[in-house]
Amino acid sequence: MNAVIVRYELDPDRLEEHLELIRQVFDHLRATTPDGVHYGVMRSVDGTSFTHIGVYEDDDARGVAGGSAPFQAFVAEIADRCKVPPVAIEQTVVEGFAIFAN
């Protein structure tokens, strides 16, 4: 399994728009339940720093998640919404247990 961690700081004036775009991504994921996709977003206590964690069982799963229309809308203007641009760190999963389990 491969993973990616993305961190950035948002412009506070774009917060509501940004949160709505995140909600649309997750609405789509819940509606389509793509196999092999594990995804979570966390917001820091400062209110404007975000961390995304995506874990993908294979490249196909990653492509399905990243290729969706809501995800493409989310990333389309991400640089304009950020004070500190996104930095992605590719990872390889060593172990995990019930991360983001509902």
Question: d(Cα 4, Cα 65) in Å, to the nearest integer?
Answer: 12
Question: d(Cα 78, Cα 50) in Å, to the nearest integer?
Answer: 12
Question: d(Cα 66, Cα 43) in Å, to the nearest integer?
Answer: 20
Summarised one tens digit per residue, pLDDT across range 67-86 is 889 999 999 999 999 999 99
Q: Domain ranges in the chain?
A: 2-92
CATH number of 2-92, picked from 3.30.420.40, 3.30.70.100, 3.20.20.30, 3.40.50.2000: 3.30.70.100
Q: pTM of whole model > 0.85?
A: yes
Summarised one tens digit per residue, pLDDT across range 11-66 is 999 999 999 999 999 999 999 998 999 999 999 999 999 999 999 888 888 888 78
